[in-house]
């Protein structure tokens, strides 16, 4: 039987990583908090949570994580970035997502709000707190949702990034889809490895 408990890393240098850890574990994933390059080894997926992007940048530099994170993404490992995680992935930071995020685009803390967005056919509850939006994006970036004409959820290859905090609303559908895609990919890879390339077998 195929193991359906993927190992998911959650970047845990700063910010709201604990709720992501809880959601992923509740959904049946194994979770590892990522603080050093060694913590990235063997991961099936990675979540980059919200927080304070300047502090996260300093932590990534201090721990020497930028190169290993880039290697992980370029190898095709699925990534989910939320709020500051989106900022960290953009052109001006790690350069792993072909977007430019505009920080605090919706205003300061007092301008926080919640709304429902449709993403991949699901109604997703989104909490925006000092949230960015995507000011520019490349042709290879798929826009999944907008607020007032500004992209707030995008996908490029195996990377999905959103401007908001699903975890603060108890919203799990993005995490569910993230894990389902990882499990489906693992199942497909396992089937490809075990399929017979030769003559058909006998009944």
**Which of the residues are catalytic?**
83, 165, 167
Per DSSP, helices labelled H in the chain are: 17-26, 53-63, 66-74, 84-89, 173-194
* Separation of first and last alpha carbons in the chain: 21
8 A C-beta contact, residue 153 and residue 160: yes
CA–CA gap between residue 186 and residue 191 (Å, rounded):
9
Q: Which helix (H) or strand (E) holds 34?
A: strand 30-34
For residue 138 the two structure tokens come to: 């490349």
Q: Which two tokens stand for residue 50?
A: 């919200």
Rounded distance between C-alpha atoms, residue 74 and residue 116, angstroms = 32
Q: Rounded CA gap, 58 and 135, in Å?
A: 24
Q: How far, in Å, are 34, 43, 103, 181 from residue 78 at the CA level?
A: 15, 10, 24, 8
Measured distance CA(178)–CA(128) in Å, rounded: 20
């Amino acid at each position: 039987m195929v193991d359906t408990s993927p190992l998911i890393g959650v970047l845990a240098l700063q910010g709201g990583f604990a709720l992501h850890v809880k959601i992923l574990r509740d959904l049946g994933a194994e979770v590892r908090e990522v603080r050093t390059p060694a913590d990235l080894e063997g991961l099936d997926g990675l979540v980059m949570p919200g927080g304070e992007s300047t502090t996260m940048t300093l932590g990534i530099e201090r721990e020497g994580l930028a190169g290993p994170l880039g290697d992980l993404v370029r190898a095709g490992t699925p990534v989910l970035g939320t709020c500051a995680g989106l900022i960290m992935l953009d052109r001006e930071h790690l350069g792993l997502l072909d977007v430019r995020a505009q920080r605090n685009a919706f205003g300061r803390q007092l301008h926080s709000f919640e709304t429902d967005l449709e993403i991949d056919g699901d109604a997703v509850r989104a909490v925006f707190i000092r949230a960015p939006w995507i000011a520019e994006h490349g042709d290879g970036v798929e826009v999944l949702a907008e607020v007032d004409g500004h992209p707030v959820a995008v996908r490029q290859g195996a990377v999905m990034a959103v401007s908001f905090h699903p975890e603060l609303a108890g919203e799990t559908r993005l995490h569910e889809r993230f894990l389902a895609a990882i499990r489906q990919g693992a199942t497909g890879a396992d089937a490809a490895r075990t399929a017979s390339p030769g003559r058909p077998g006998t009944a």
